[in-house]
Chains A and B, each alone.
Chain A
Amino acid sequence: MNPLTPHLPKPPSFISSSKLSHDQSYHHHMSTNSDPSDTGATEKWAAKLLQECAEAISVKDSSKIHHLLWMLNELASPYGDHDQKLAFYFLQALFCKATESGERCCKNLASIVERSHSFESARKVILKFQEVSPWTTFGHVASNGAILEAMEGETNLHIIDISNTYCTQWPAFLEALATRNDDTPSLRLTVVATVGMGGSVMREIGHRMEKFARLMGVPFEFQVVRVATRLGELKEEDLGLQEDEAVAVNCVGALRRVGVEERNDFLHMLCSIQPKVVTVVEEEVDLTSSRSEFVKCFKECLRFYGVFFEMLEESFAPSSNERLVLERECSRSILSVLACDENGGGDCERREKGSQWCARLMEGFSPMSFSDDAIDDVKALLKRYRPGWSLRPAEGDASGFYLTWKDEPVVWASAWKP
């Protein structure tokens, strides 16, 4: 069925001139493709072509690379259907990998994002995302439950927040603090901001948090600690810890931003802070093997983002701008993982699976189980979204639990104590 061979002058015959399906007709209206008959009749054509291209790159088959890149370019579109989108975003990465221009590309993308990034835009995108999908709120609810339980009875709380969700976790936490019992503890929130998180945005977020805490009647302090280069360089003394406070470290989508080689040291540093609890939430995919095993890493990356894009498509309305922004943000991640060096490309994005994190965390921490209440809260959360989501406890060597989308684990949440 697939007569794709190198040196083939015409596009292979498996791409027939079939008409667009009804679903795609809307997207075609927006698509930049000039010819509707380009759309493949077969399903999952993008995955096939992309993998072939990745393999061609790994063996340095230049003519095949050219040919495949050309074909993907023809078919890809960020406004098209699922395959077209995957083709588009992965094509960028493959191109940069082939031309070794990954770092430059990443920097350009980063500066585009920085220029367009504002509090309003970030707020709009993330709140909408949280409304239609539990992808991030799952980790929030689980972590809040673990932190509340670990801090039971404490009067001075200090939370070190290293996350990528712009403090959307904390309003619910503040409310819980205010309503749980008669003695409301005080909360200091230290947000560790990495390169991608704009200063003006973080400041505005801080103001909002302060105001909301006042409304809730929770004594509250907010500070931002900015990491100049890499998250792995964060040190205990940067955090402004005080005596007589109970510390919790909240890492949501954070540990992946530490360079792979620096991760154990980073965790060691966290351990030395002596926190009451460390909550870790990460996406369930292994992208650590980019340099050594490109094709393997590529396949994992493709699988994961395929699921993510599909989830986005099914969660948002078809014409959603927020979804488009989220998809674009993926392109930076994908580029960084596939086409950049360990140290280039800004924030590291090499995710690891829950079981891998567990192996690292076991060095200095022991797992903390979630209370029944916390688990019930998560279950109740999932009920509020469209069907397809569920909860699965981790098994074997791993602890914590997974958010699953159509039975595939996508996000992992866990809690640890030193």
Chain B
Amino acid sequence: MPIDPEAEVVALSPKSLLATNRFVCEICGKGFQRDQNLQLHRRGHNLPWKLRQRSTKEPRKRVYVCPEKTCIHHHPSRALGDLTGIKKHFCRKHGEKKWKCEKCSKRYAVQSDWKAHSKVCGTREYRCDCGTLFSRRDSFVTHRAFCDALAEETARVSAVSNIDRLTSINNVNHHFTDDLMRSNMVQHFPAIFKPAMADGQAGEHPLPGLSLWMGQRPQNYQTLSTDSSLSSMHQMGPVSISTLYKDPFASCSNAQNLDSQLSWIYSNKLASSSSVELTSTLIPTSLKEANLMSVPSLYGTQHHQQSMPASDKSATALLQKAAQIGATSSGPSLFGSLEMKCHNTQVQDGGKYDGLLNPNHQSIAATMENSLENIASDITVSNPYSDMYSSRHQMAQKNGTAGGETRDFLGVGIQTLCPSSVNGWI
């Protein structure tokens, strides 16, 4: 708003600012909230023509300052031209919030604000980047924090900040960890997941690497701060990252790149004790190449400063080792494949995030459950609990006779299962 040097600056005290009846009739002293109402009232006094005009003309424009000293609008240069405006400002910023929304308990100092909010409260819909709609703000906020769509957005948007640089390293490491693992492990996994790179699809980043890292958990008290693990990776990281950036899609085919990436991974992994874990575990599905593309300028200069990590293992030996690790861990592989199924579904059905409505998702949940049951029966074969189950399924008819028949129900009978504990009182 252009400042009018001729304008009269009016500084009202908080009391007068908040006074509701500023316009007072000079004849009878009655107060009114608005000037128009006062004028209407004055007509009722049947004043002679001359006096009908306003006694005090207001030739100059008035601007108002906020009485609150710490406020930016306290200074005349930032005065507001509208009295109602300054009143509302004062109430909103410095006033007591007397009006409260019933639905969401949000507070307002200005009654009209409160009314306006109450009208829309609860009717508003929040849309997450993944496409899901929410009618409640709290569930929207919580969902958003954990949503895969968020992971991508913030990484792209804030690629330049320091913290994000480290995060991007994290992501990039995941990225070529994926490549490495995928190239070795693809034969172990069902065709349901296809290498994202090959198809040029931006959406899919399955997790073959997961099966490798599953067994690794810190065993003792560990303050696993992301800072420490990230910084150790940071040292090694940029070299491989720069090679990656030359051609992000070439990692599978370029033996030399693979070698450097492998050497990075294995030297880091072998060198450090279990206290530093590669944080390459679960990766947001929506982690896309765009992630990497946004960062290259950052690493352009860096790779000159760091040297390649030395490694005496050949690329072939390391590849073989990776294949071995993949082959021997059959349990986690199953889990890994289930993991990826979930991932794929989520990525494909971005618009229908609410899984219950999604037939694919349901069948995958069912698949997971079946697998769980399989796992359960596999590992609890010798457990009396599971014997109960297996015999339950076996039983087609009721055993209605004497107590001896209860052996069938329990499969082998309690005695044989737990000889020591049970003999005492059964």
Interface residues of A (CB under 8 A from B): 7, 9-11, 32, 34-35, 60, 62-63, 66-67, 70, 73-74, 92, 95-96, 98-101, 104-105, 108, 111-112, 115-116, 118-121, 123-124, 127, 130-131, 137, 141, 168, 170-172, 174-175, 198-201, 203-212, 214-215, 221-228, 238, 240, 317, 319-321, 324, 373, 376-377, 379-381, 383-384
Q: Select one of B104, B142, B164, B384 contacting A130, CB under 8 A.
A: B142
Q: Is the CB of B342 within 8 A of A95?
A: no
In the assembly, what is the distance between CA of A48 and CA of B282, in Å? Answer: 46
In the assembly, what is the distance between CA of A7 and CA of B142, in Å? Answer: 56
Question: B158 contacts the other chain (Cβ, under 8 Å)?
Answer: yes
In the assembly, what is the distance between CA of A373 and CA of B398, in Å? Answer: 60
**In the complex, how many angstroms separate the beta carbon of A238 from the nearest chain B beta carbon?**
5
Question: What 1/0 mask marks residues of chain B from 390 to 404 whose CB sits below 8 Å from any chain A CB?
Answer: 001101101111110
In the assembly, what is the distance between CA of A63 and CA of B426, in Å? Answer: 8
Q: Is the CB of B154 within 8 A of A127?
A: no
Q: Is the CB of B105 within 8 A of A101?
A: no
Given A118-B342, A211-B151, the answer on whether A381 and B222 have CB atoms closer than 8 Å is no
Question: What 1/0 mask marks residues of chain B from 359 to 397 whose CB sits below 8 Å from any chain A CB?
Answer: 000100110110110011001100111001000110110
In the assembly, what is the distance between CA of A66 and CA of B405, in Å? Answer: 10
Q: Is the CB of A225 within 8 A of B223?
A: yes
Q: Is the CB of B224 within 8 A of A105?
A: no
Given contacts A198-B217, A199-B277, A204-B281, 9 further A-B contacts (CB under 8 A): A95-B384, A100-B418, A116-B338, A121-B368, A171-B141, A199-B281, A205-B146, A226-B218, A226-B222
Residue numbers in A under 8 Å from B414 (CB-CB): 66, 98-99
Given A116-B375, A123-B146, A172-B141, the answer on whether A199 and B218 have CB atoms closer than 8 Å is yes
Given A116-B375, A175-B141, A321-B362, the answer on whether A104 and B342 have CB atoms closer than 8 Å is no
**In the complex, how many angstroms separate the beta carbon of A160 from the nearest chain B beta carbon?**
12
In the assembly, what is the distance between CA of A238 and CA of B225, in Å? Answer: 12
Q: Is the CB of A101 within 8 A of B163?
A: no
Q: Is the CB of B368 within 8 A of A116?
A: yes
In the assembly, what is the distance between CA of A204 and CA of B375, in Å? Answer: 25
Chain B residue nearest in CB terms to A101:
B384
Task: Show 27 A/B contacts (Cβ-Cβ < 8 Å), sorted by A.
Answer: A32-B393, A34-B395, A66-B403, A73-B388, A73-B409, A95-B388, A108-B385, A115-B332, A115-B375, A116-B371, A123-B146, A131-B139, A171-B145, A198-B217, A199-B277, A200-B214, A203-B277, A207-B151, A209-B145, A210-B163, A214-B161, A221-B225, A221-B227, A226-B224, A228-B220, A376-B105, A380-B102
**In the complex, how many angstroms separate the beta carbon of A77 from the nearest chain B beta carbon?**
10
**In the complex, how many angstroms separate the beta carbon of A328 from the nearest chain B beta carbon?**
9
In the assembly, what is the distance between CA of A141 and CA of B142, in Å? Answer: 12
Question: B117 contacts the other chain (Cβ, under 8 Å)?
Answer: no
Q: Is the CB of A199 within 8 A of B217?
A: yes
Chain B residue nearest in CB terms to A373:
B105
Residue numbers in A under 8 Å from B104 (CB-CB): 380
Q: Is the interface of B mostly helix, strand, loop or mixed?
A: helix
- Which chain B residues in 101-127 approach chain A with CB under 8 Å? 102-105, 107
Question: B351 contacts the other chain (Cβ, under 8 Å)?
Answer: no
**Most B CB atoms within 10 A — which of A96, A104, A115?**
A115
Question: Which 9 A/B pairs are nearest by Cβ-Cβ distance?
Answer: A171-B145, A200-B281, A212-B145, A204-B282, A199-B217, A376-B105, A100-B421, A223-B225, A62-B426
In the assembly, what is the distance between CA of A35 and CA of B397, in Å? Answer: 9
Q: Is the CB of A227 within 8 A of B396?
A: no
Which range holds the interface residue count of chain B? 35 or more
Q: Is the CB of B138 within 8 A of A11?
A: no
Q: Is the CB of B385 within 8 A of A101?
A: yes
Residue numbers in A under 8 Å from B145 (CB-CB): 170-171, 174, 208-209, 212
In the assembly, what is the distance between CA of A128 and CA of B372, in Å? Answer: 21
In the assembly, what is the distance between CA of A206 and CA of B421, in Å? Answer: 45
Q: Select one of B164, B383, B402 contacting A101, CB under 8 A.
A: B383
Q: Is the CB of A214 within 8 A of B136?
A: no
Residue numbers in B under 8 Å from A228 (CB-CB): 219-221
Q: Is the CB of A120 within 8 A of B346?
A: yes
Q: Is the CB of B401 within 8 A of A70?
A: no
Q: Is the CB of A211 within 8 A of B167?
A: yes
Q: Is the CB of A171 within 8 A of B418?
A: no
Q: Is the CB of B396 within 8 A of A34?
A: yes
Question: What 1/0 mask marks residues of chain B from 330 to 343 whose CB sits below 8 Å from any chain A CB?
Answer: 01100100110011
In the assembly, what is the distance between CA of A373 and CA of B138, in Å? Answer: 16
Given A73-B409, A215-B150, the answer on whether A223 and B142 have CB atoms closer than 8 Å is no
Q: Is the CB of B138 within 8 A of A137?
A: yes
Chain B residue nearest in CB terms to A117:
B335
Given A211-B155, A215-B150, the answer on whether A203 and B100 have CB atoms closer than 8 Å is no
In the assembly, what is the distance between CA of A221 and CA of B224, in Å? Answer: 12
Given A99-B414, A214-B154, A380-B104, the answer on whether A127 and B167 have CB atoms closer than 8 Å is no
**In the complex, how many angstroms separate the beta carbon of A159 from the nearest chain B beta carbon?**
15
In the assembly, what is the distance between CA of A64 and CA of B44, in Å? Answer: 98
**In the complex, how many angstroms separate the beta carbon of B93 from the nearest chain A beta carbon?**
10
Q: Select one of A62, A98, A168 contacting B142, CB under 8 A.
A: A168
Q: Is the CB of B406 within 8 A of A70?
A: yes
Residue numbers in B under 8 Å from A137 (CB-CB): 138
Chain B residue nearest in CB terms to A213:
B145
Chain A residue nearest in CB terms to B426:
A62
Question: B160 contacts the other chain (Cβ, under 8 Å)?
Answer: no
Residue numbers in A under 8 Å from B331 (CB-CB): 115
**In the complex, how many angstroms separate the beta carbon of B171 from the nearest chain A beta carbon?**
9
Residue numbers in B under 8 Å from A376 (CB-CB): 100, 105
Q: Is the CB of A108 within 8 A of B383?
A: yes
Q: Is the CB of A116 within 8 A of B335?
A: yes
Residue numbers in B under 8 Å from A105 (CB-CB): 383, 385
**In the complex, how many angstroms separate the beta carbon of A120 from the nearest chain B beta carbon?**
5
**In the complex, how many angstroms separate the beta carbon of B337 from the nearest chain A beta carbon?**
12
